[in-house]
Amino acid sequence: MNIGFIGLGLMGRPMALNLRKAGFAVGVWARREASLAPVVAAGAVARGSIAEVAAAADVVFSCVPDAPQVAEVAQAVADGARPGLVFADMSTIAPAAARDIAAQLKARGVSMLDAPVSGGEVGAIAGTLTIMVGGDQAAFDTALPAFQAMGKSVTRVGESGAGQVAKACNQIATGVGVAAVAEALNFAQMSGVDPARVREALLGGFANSRILDNHGQRMIDRNFTPGFKAWMHQKDLRIVMEEAHRHGLALPAAAATAQLFNALIGAGMGEDDSVAMLKLFEVMCGAAA
Percent of all residues in the chain with a pLDDT value above 90, rounded to a whole number: 94
Average pLDDT of the residues of the chain: 96
Q: Kindly indicate the confidence band of residue 286, based on its pLDDT and cuts at 50, 70 and 90.
A: confident
User: At a CB cut-off of 8 Å and minimum separation 6, what does 150 contact?
Assistant: 15, 18, 19, 117, 124, 127, 129, 131
Whole-number pLDDT of residue 11: 94
Assess if CATH 2.60.40.10 describes domain 165-284.
Answer: no
Average pLDDT over residues 18-24: 98
CA distances from 139 to 60, 131, 135, 202 (A): 12, 15, 7, 43
- The tens digit of pLDDT for each residue in 258-278 reads 999 999 999 999 999 999 999
DSSP 224: -
Taking the C-alpha atoms of residue 175 and residue 141, their distance in angstroms, rounded to an integer, is 31
Per-domain residue ranges of the chain? 2-158, 165-284
Element (H, E) at 203: none
Identity of the residue numbered 189: Q
Predicted local confidence at residue 198, as pLDDT: 98
Phi, psi of 3 (to 5 degrees): -115, 145
Over the stretch 224-255, which tens digit does the pLDDT of each residue have?
Answer: 999 889 999 999 999 999 999 999 999 999 99
DSSP assignment, residue 81? P
- pLDDT band for 287, please (50, 70, 90 cuts): confident
Q: What is the CATH number of domain 2-158?
A: 3.40.50.720
Predicted confidence at residue 33, as pLDDT, reads: 87
Average pLDDT over residues 176-202: 98
Other beta carbons within 10 angstroms of residue 44's beta carbon come to: 23
Bin 38: left if φ > 0, else alpha if -120 < ψ < 50, else beta. alpha
pLDDT above 70: residue 54? yes
Could you give phi then psi for residue 158, rounded to 5 degrees? 170, -155
Name which of 31, 115, 111 is nearest 77 in CA terms: 111
Q: Which residues are catalytic?
A: 167
d(CA 10, CA 202): 32
DSSP letter assigned to residue 229: B
Instruction: Report pLDDT for 176.
Output: 98
Answering whether pTM is above 0.75, one says yes
Q: How many CB atoms lie within 10 A of CB 80?
A: 19
Q: Taking 80 as the threshold, does the pLDDT of residue 289 lie above it?
A: no
73, 50 in Cβ contact below 8 A? yes
Backbone angles phi, psi at 88, to 5 degrees: -115, 110
pLDDT digits (tens, 9 = 90+) for 100-122: 999 999 999 999 999 999 998 99
pLDDT at 94 (0 to 100): 95
Quickly state the pLDDT bin for 288 (edges 50, 70, 90). low
